[in-house]
Amino acid sequence: MTEFRRIAVLGPGVLGGSVALAVTKRHAESSVALWGRNPERVAEIRATGFEQATDDLAHAVQDAELIILAVPVGALRALGGKLVEIGLSPGTCITDVGSVKASPHESLGKFMQQHGICFIGSHPMAGSERTGFAAADADLFVDAPCILTNDNQQPLEQLDRLGAFWTGLGARSAVMSASEHDRLVARISHLPHILSSVCALIALRNQEDGRFAGQGLRDTSRVAAGDPAMWAEILLENRDQIAEPLREGASVLSDLANSLAAGDAEAILRILEEGQTRRHTLDETE
């Protein structure tokens, strides 16, 4: 159950679409509207059977108690301005699903606070390298962590309601500051994406070599298939936090190259064993 009875999801991509489908599946007592600005795309979504899709923003957010912004970080502030112009119901809670949190709190969060509207950040740690509503999954958030950030100091009651909403979709919610969130995801999400892209760049320098690739390369480079424009924006938004992990990664690769050149088997083994040990910690948390 969720206390939010009228929910609007703004952005019909894989995350927004998954939220809309998950609400429909798991919160049958609530209504959900899915907004997209492209009428043709909205029509395609409606053709799949999701009739609550609309390109009318005012209609989508009418009487909404929870509004979920599933749009790029760079579009949050402008969309927030449109919502203020439309006018929202008293007590409406707004959240987003982006993977960077400091900048949304500085821009959209402060703007909403000036207009007496609640903004609390959300980051469901789930997704896909695929894009669009066709890749949406009602079970995407099951067992996935969802980090909430409340740097604009909204009431704890609203924070608890939002956490319960995500828990109701199957996620495991946690609360931390925006800066701590951005530091964390720089290492466990953004760095892996960069390394996946580098892997694809180097391993497939001769693209015809890919026909001999096994599952290892496919697994390691999988997330590199994600939307480059979206990821470029994410990395730029979080550049202050991603710089140090990148330097650390470059240092380890340099050390490994030097150890190989020197034939230092002990140093090579030490790096590989430490990597294996840390990878095993992921299995322990499952």
Which of 176, 197, 232 represents a domain boundary (last residue)? Answer: 176
Residues 101 and 208 occupy one common structural domain: no
Which of 176, 200, 217 represents a domain boundary (last residue)? Answer: 176
- What pLDDT, on the 0 to 100 scale, is given for residue 283? 86
Residue at 280 is within a domain: yes
Tell me the C-alpha to C-alpha distance, in Å, between residue 246 and each of 97, 125, 186, 249, 280.
24, 21, 9, 5, 22
- Are 10 and 68 within 8 A, CB to CB? yes
- What pLDDT, on the 0 to 100 scale, is given for residue 24? 94
Count of structural domains within the chain? 2
- What pLDDT, on the 0 to 100 scale, is given for residue 222? 92
- What pLDDT, on the 0 to 100 scale, is given for residue 1? 59
- Name 93's bridge partners: 66, 118
- What pLDDT, on the 0 to 100 scale, is given for residue 89? 84
- Are 129 and 153 within 8 A, CB to CB? no
pTM: 0.92
Percentage with pLDDT > 90 across the chain: 90
Residue at 1 is within a domain: no
E strands, the chain, are 6-10, 31-35, 53-54, 66-69, 93-96, 118-119, 121-124, 145-149, 172-175
- What pLDDT, on the 0 to 100 scale, is given for residue 285? 67
- Are 182 and 156 within 8 A, CB to CB? no
- What pLDDT, on the 0 to 100 scale, is given for residue 130? 78
Q: Name the residue among 196, 243, 190, 194 with its Cα closest to residue 216.
A: 196
- What pLDDT, on the 0 to 100 scale, is given for residue 90? 84
Q: Which residues of the chain have pLDDT under 50?
A: none
Domain that holds residue 250: 181-284
Residue pointed to by tokens 């609400």: 23
Can you tell me whether residue 42 is helix, strand or coil? helix
Residue at 212 is within a domain: yes
CATH of the domain at 251: 1.10.3660.10
